[in-house]
Structure 1
Amino acid sequence: MKKFGLCIAGGIATIILLSTIGPMVGLLISLAVLYFIYKQFLKAESTGWKIALGIFGVIFLMASISNAPAIIGVVAAYILYLVYKNWNSSKHSVVKEESDPFVNFEKQWNEIKNY
């Protein structure tokens, strides 16, 4: 039942992630350009160049804000990572192995044979 729930959560997260790839790429590009505009703004000495960079910065800031649904895609990617990480958790298999009388019998039989 645990695997079924993980499968459902992983499927939903995959669909959401695939549907938000476009906004994620747009957000990444607009933030990268905004970062370089900011760096150039700090280096600029003329007032006219600073005004032009400020206008470009506002434009790319608006582009970044318009790609805000990409945050949902990032959350879906994280959920998909958690599903992948928990898919083969060995907590249940270790408990079953220790409580299984046949496994314990095999271990004890091998110990007796080695004496």
Structure 2
Amino acid sequence: MKKFMLFIIGLIALFVLLANLGPMVLLGVSVWLLYVVFKQFIKSDSTAGKIGWVIAGLLILSIAVANGYAVIGLAAAYVLYVIYKKWQEDKLEEDVSFSAKQDDPFTNFEKQWAEMKNY
């Protein structure tokens, strides 16, 4: 039941992430453009140039604020990450409990040999 709930929550988070993928891309681009505008503002020597860069920065900032839904997408991505880690943790616990049940030395030898070959 625990894995089923993790799967359902992960599926919902995946759909939320996919739905907010566009705003996430636009937010990333607008933050990058704000950085570029700031660097150009610092380099500018004339007052008219600085005013122009401030106006461009305000326009880009309004685009960034309009894509505030991207934060929901970032939260969904984090939820997917946490679910993945939890799923791997549960899988590791199952592997440990399964290998502890096997007392056959040859089975453990084969498993360890396979692990050594992967390195």
Q: Once superposed, what is the RMSD of the aligned Cα atoms? A: 1.8
Aligned to 2:105: 107
Q: Which has the larger radius of gyration?
A: 1
Map 1:1-115 → 2, pairs under 5 A: 1-89=1-89, 90-98=92-100, 100=101, 103-104=102-103, 106-107=104-105
**Aligned AA (1:44):** S
Deviates more, 1:80-89 or 1:9-18: 80-89
Measure the CA separation in 1 of the matches of 2:20 and 2:51.
Answer: 34
Q: Give the TM-score normalised by the residue count of structure 1.
A: 0.82
Shift of 1:82: 2.0
**Aligned AA (2:73):** G
Shift of 1:11: 0.3
Size of the alignment, in residue pairs?
105
Post-superposition, which runs of at least 4 consecutive aligned residues in structure 1 deviate over 3 A? none
Shift of 1:95: 2.8
CA-to-partner distance for each residue in 1:20-60, whole Å, 9 max, x for gaps?
01110110111111110000000100000000110111111
**Aligned AA (1:62):** S
Deviates more, 1:36-45 or 1:25-34: 25-34
Shift of 1:96: 4.3
Q: Give the TM-score normalised by the residue count of structure 2.
A: 0.79
**Aligned AA (1:72):** I
Measure the CA separation in 2 of the matches of 1:77 and 1:88.
Answer: 17
Shift of 1:3: 1.3
